[in-house]
């Protein structure tokens, strides 16, 4: 018993010394910080939790925390408004489903300034549904597309699924630690959205999960550092897998569309790291690159915070996509 007591006493002293060293080095216990986009119960809260997808757009009106703090209208099934009426048009217009993240969601601009709304105005014979959801990966966008295809649309299914892609989605598709650290739930827990990881020659799907606090982590700098090292270096050190996983995730959506008898295409909206083209080169479906202004002239084409397109860039994206649709996509849909 004496030896056990001495061991426990030495252990306690060692832990206290480690804690003191961490604090002297400037490390602090884990602070509970909620991502500003996910603070619950406010007029700027645009999302609600979803057990499968992690979150979806909250139906109703939310106010942006960027730019001019405009109101943004969201409809059922995580859609951003693309016209005055939320009901699916019943006049025979061909349905187009657009899926993607916050640049498609058109965060920070008015409904009628978003490029999907502008596309709706430009093509009176098409009906665009904008499923863009802030923070989404390609994996989440694909899962939402499958849900909406079955649950939102009746007999009149979409003719085209259009993926709006940003190079930031690469790391999101493997839930890399750099992305995990930037999102949290209403309690301040880190979350890992649904994603894929490589396991040998196959991909393994990982469902949405909450990463809870370790015991005493909120009181111990040493435990906080240890937990961070575990997440960064072991569990979510997944950046090297991003490209092959993303290519496979995109192909999964293309395969889903093919099985449903629907055309599939992709457009690059944002490519600040200039890595997005590598996702689509050699793929057996049409794709188009409308990116560039977000990195070459952000002062003119991005909101003041620099994170999302402003109305001027949305107008450019609409024009870029229209030219591509007219030349390469819509002639095939008419067949």
More confident residue, 333 or 95: 95
Q: What is the Cα–Cα distance from 8 to 137, expressed in whole angstroms?
A: 47
Per-residue model confidence as pLDDT tens digits over 123-140: 999 999 999 999 999 999
Mean pLDDT taken over the chain:
92
Query: Does residue 283 contact residue 247 with C-beta atoms inside 8 Å?
Result: yes
Q: What is the Cα–Cα distance from 16 to 148, expressed in whole angstroms?
A: 53
Task: Write out the DSSP string of 235-249.
Answer: IT--GGGHHHHHHHH
Per-residue model confidence as pLDDT tens digits over 143-202: 999 999 999 998 899 999 999 999 999 999 999 999 999 888 888 899 999 999 998 888
Classify domain 1-335 at the CATH superfamily level: SGNH hydrolase (3.40.50.1110)
Q: Is the pLDDT of residue 9 over 70?
A: no
Question: What pLDDT is recorded for position 127?
Answer: 96
Task: Show me where the domains of the chain are located.
Answer: 1-335
Per-residue model confidence as pLDDT tens digits over 271-302: 999 999 999 999 999 999 999 999 999 999 99
Q: Is the pLDDT of residue 1 over 80?
A: no
How does residue 10 score in pLDDT terms, banded at 50, 70 and 90? low
């Amino acid at each position: 018993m004496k030896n056990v007591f001495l061991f426990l006493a030495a252990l306690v002293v060692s832990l206290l010394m480690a804690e003191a060293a961490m604090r002297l080095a400037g490390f602090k216990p884990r602070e509970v910080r909620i991502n500003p986009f996910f603070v619950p119960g406010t007029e700027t809260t645009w999302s609600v939790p979803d057990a499968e997808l992690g979150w979806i757009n909250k139906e109703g009106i939310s106010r942006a925390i960027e730019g001019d703090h405009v109101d943004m209208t969201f409809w059922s099934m995580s859609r951003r408004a693309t016209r005055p009426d939320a009901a699916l048009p019943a006049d025979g217009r061909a349905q187009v489903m657009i899926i993607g993240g916050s640049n498609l969601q058109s965060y920070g601009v008015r409904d009628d300034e978003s490029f999907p709304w502008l596309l709706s105005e430009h093509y009176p014979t098409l009906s665009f549904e904008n499923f863009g959801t802030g923070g989404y990966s390609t994996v989440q966008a694909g899962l939402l597309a499958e849900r909406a295809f079955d649950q939102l649309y009746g007999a009149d299914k979409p003719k085209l699924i259009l993926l709006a892609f940003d190079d930031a989605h690469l790391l999101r598709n493997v839930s890399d630690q750099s992305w995990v650290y930037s999102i949290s739930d209403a309690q301040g827990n880190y979350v890992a959205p649904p994603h894929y990881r490589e396991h040998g020659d196959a991909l393994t799907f990982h469902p949405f999960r909450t990463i809870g606090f370790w015991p005493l982590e909120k009181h111990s700098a040493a435990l906080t550092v240890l937990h961070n090292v575990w997440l960064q270096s072991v569990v979510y050190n997944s950046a090297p897998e991003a490209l092959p996983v993303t290519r496979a995730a995109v192909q999964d959506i293309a395969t889903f569309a093919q099985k449903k008898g629907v055309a599939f295409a992709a457009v690059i909206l944002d490519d600040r790291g200039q890595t997005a083209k590598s996702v689509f080169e050699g793929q057996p479906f049409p794709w188009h690159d409308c990116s560039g202004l977000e990195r070459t002239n952000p002062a003119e084409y991005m909101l003041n915070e620099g994170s999302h397109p402003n109305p001027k860039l949305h107008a450019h994206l609409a024009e870029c996509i229209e030219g591509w649709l007219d030349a390469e996509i819509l002639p095939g849909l008419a067949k």
